[in-house]
């Protein structure tokens, strides 16, 4: 298997990331590097005494979602680059199985099935959004699965950025996330749209799963809701 880089961004979430690092250590993955970006100053004690080797990037000024991962990508050496949320858990994963769709040279990004902490399937793969559909999700909380997953890989419009594996060449071909337009939210929709426009496909590998303890910050914070609405406006208007 070729080398994999995992990029994790912390917003004062060291205690949340520590169990993820423990998961990765127990998996004893070969040819894997982990880059953790500290977006704000925080208590780093949960990172101490970790058996897993990882690299820390400490931001002087906070950055947005896409800019943080783009920064990590520049410093990465993996053939595949995985964007991972701090609240992801990986008790077991078969990266060889996850990477199987990459045998098709047109596949630019892969995501596993994402389960919530109760074992239910998260709506992590969707059709490209419409104004009405996004309003129902963000303002009314109406969420339905965008695809019917069976037991074989399926091409989708876009995969949510909680856990997405990019082929290095595909990420480079679109210059990564568009951090100048999207500070937070919609950047995962946008990068998948641009990948497709450049001839790449986005695939869900249903034979592999990860667990996501969803934070849903935009439903608790006016600031996050504002970022979400601004990003949606920019996505739909192209501004």
Mean pLDDT is lowest, of 5-14, 46-55, 207-216, for 207-216
Residue 1 CA to residue 226 CA, distance in Å, equals 42
Element (H, E) at 194: helix 187-197
Q: What is the pLDDT averaged over residues 132-161? A: 78
Angle at 24 between CA 21 and CA 192, to 5 degrees: 95
Confidence of residue 142 (pLDDT cuts 50, 70, 90): low
Instruction: Name the residue ranges covered by the structural domains of the chain.
Output: 4-129+145-216
pLDDT tens by residue, 21-43: 999 999 888 889 999 999 999 99
DSSP state of 204: E
Q: Which of 233, 232, 215, 229 is nearest to 9 (CA)?
A: 215
Element (H, E) at 199: none
Structure tokens at 217: 């910050």
Mean pLDDT is lowest, of 64-68, 77-81, 205-209, 214-218, for 214-218
Residue 109 CA to residue 239 CA, distance in Å, equals 25
Residue 74 CA to residue 236 CA, distance in Å, equals 29
Radius of gyration, alpha carbons of the chain: 17
Q: What is the pLDDT averaged over residues 11-20? A: 92
pLDDT tens by residue, 176-225: 999 889 888 889 999 999 999 999 999 999 999 999 976 555 445 667 77
DSSP of 118-153: TSPBP--EEPPP-HHHHHHHHHH-----SS---SS-
The rounded mean pLDDT for the chain is 88
Structure tokens at 111: 């995501």
Spell out the CATH class of 4-129+145-216: alpha beta
């Amino acid at each position: 298997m070729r080398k994999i880089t995992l990029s994790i961004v912390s917003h004062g979430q060291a205690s949340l990331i520590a169990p993820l690092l423990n998961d990765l250590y127990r998996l004893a993955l070969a040819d894997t590097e982990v880059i953790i970006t500290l977006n704000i100053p925080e208590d780093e004690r949960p990172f101490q005494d970790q058996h897993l080797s990882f690299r820390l990037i400490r931001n002087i000024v906070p950055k947005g979602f896409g800019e943080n991962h783009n920064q990590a990508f520049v410093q990465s050496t993996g053939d595949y680059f995985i964007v991972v949320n701090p609240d992801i858990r990986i008790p077991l994963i078969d990266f060889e199985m996850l990477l199987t769709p990459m045998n098709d040279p047109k596949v630019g990004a892969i995501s596993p099935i994402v389960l919530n902490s109760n074992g239910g399937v998260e709506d992590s793969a969707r059709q490209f959004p419409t104004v009405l559909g996004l309003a129902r999700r963000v303002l009314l909380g109406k969420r339905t699965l965008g695809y019917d997953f069976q037991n074989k890989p399926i091409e989708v419009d876009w995969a949510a950025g909680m856990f997405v594996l990019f082929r290095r060449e595909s990420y480079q071909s679109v210059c990564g996330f568009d951090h100048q337009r999207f500070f937070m939210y919609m950047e995962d929709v946008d990068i998948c749209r641009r990948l497709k426009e450049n001839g790449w496909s986005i695939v869900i590998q249903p034979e592999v799963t990860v667990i996501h303890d969803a934070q849903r910050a935009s439903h608790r914070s006016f600031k996050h809701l504002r970022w979400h609405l601004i990003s949606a406006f920019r996505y739909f208007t192209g501004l």
